[in-house]
Structure 1
Amino acid sequence: MNVFGIAGHSGMGKTTLLERLIPLLTARGLAVSLVKHSHKAIEVDRPGKDSYRLREAGCQEVLLLGEGRWALMHELRGAAEPSLPELLGRLQHCDLVLIEGFKSGDFPKLEVWRPSLGREMLWPAWPGIVGIASDAPRPANAASGLPWLDLHDAGALAGFVLANARARSG
C-alpha cells in the first residue's frame, strides 16, 4: 500500500484535482482509496434514520450496509483522533491511498496552489511537500528546487503521484 497526499488551503481545488486523478489512476489498474481529514464536524448519517438513532443511543460503531455500499461510523466520544497509521490500518488492501489533510504527516504531498486566490503557499511550512501544482507560472524564488506542475495536466500529475508515492509506514 503506497500513500500520497494532496495538500492546499480550502478552495484551491484539491477535490477537483482528485476527481480528475482517480479515474486516470484506476484506468491503470490500480485500486485507489482515500483518507480525508476535515477540521469540521462531519455527519455521514442523517437524524431520524435508525443508524443515527442507535449511534446516538451509545453505540461505539455502527456499520451500515445498503445496496451498493457500506459505511462504518465510529464515535470518538471525546477520545483523541486516531493517527493516520491507525486509519490506514483499517482500510482494505489497495495499491494507493490518496490523503487529503494530515498536514504534519510524514508522507509525500503535492501542494495545489492558485495564487489568484490570495493565499500563501503551504510550502515550506508543511513537511513532505515534494511538488507544486499550480494554474500559474512559478513566481520568482517560489519553491525553488521543487517540481512546478501544470494544475490542468492531469496525466502528468497522475504520473507524478505514482513516481513519488511511497510505502506506508507504521
Structure 2
Amino acid sequence: MDLEQYTDKQIVDGILANNKVVIEYFFLKKCSALFIYILQNIFDGNIDKKELISELYLYMADQDWYKVRQFDYRSKLMTWTSVVAVRFFQKKKRELIENKSSETLNKEMDKIANVTMFIDCKMDVCNALKKMPNERYRKVIEALDLKEVHPESLAEEMKITVDNLYNIHRRALMQLKNVMGRKEEYYG
C-alpha cells in the first residue's frame, strides 16, 4: 500500500512498531510543511530543518514512543502533531531566550497555537464556520485565524479590549470544535 494512503492509525501503528519506512515517511514527508512553519515562525529561519526533525524525533521516540502513545484519535494525526511540535519547540526557544518578556512570548505562543489547529483542516474549518450559530464567534475566527488580522485592530473594530477578544476567540474555538464534532477542549 502507498504510504500516502495510510490512515492515521496505520501511521501510528507503524511508528510504534519502529517501522523505519513509516517513521521516515512521517517525519520527512508528512511533517515537512509543519517543520517549515516552525522554522519560519518560531525560529525565524535561524535553525537547520534537519536539526528540528532530529529534535522532534528524539522527543517523540523517547521512552518507547511515549508521546505518540498519547495520541487518542480525537483529532487528525497532523493536527495533534502540530500542537505537540509547536509546544515542544516553543519550550526549546524559551530555554534559549532569556531576555524576551514573557508577555510578548505568550502572545506569540497563543497565535501559533491557534494557527496550528488549522494546518491540516482548513477546508473543514471553512465549512464548519458556516454552521456556527454565533456570528460574532465566526467573525473572530475568520479574522484572527484565516485572514490574520491583528488582534489590536479587530478589538478596536469590535469596540472591546484585546484581552476580551482573546476570551471570545477561546470560546469561539470551542464552539467550532463542537460544530466539527470534536470533544470540547482547548490547546491554548
TM-score by length of 2: 0.26
Larger relative contact order (Cα-Cα within 8 Å, sequence gap ≥ 6): 1
Normalised TM-score (structure 1): 0.28
| Structure (1 or 2) with the greater helix fraction | 2
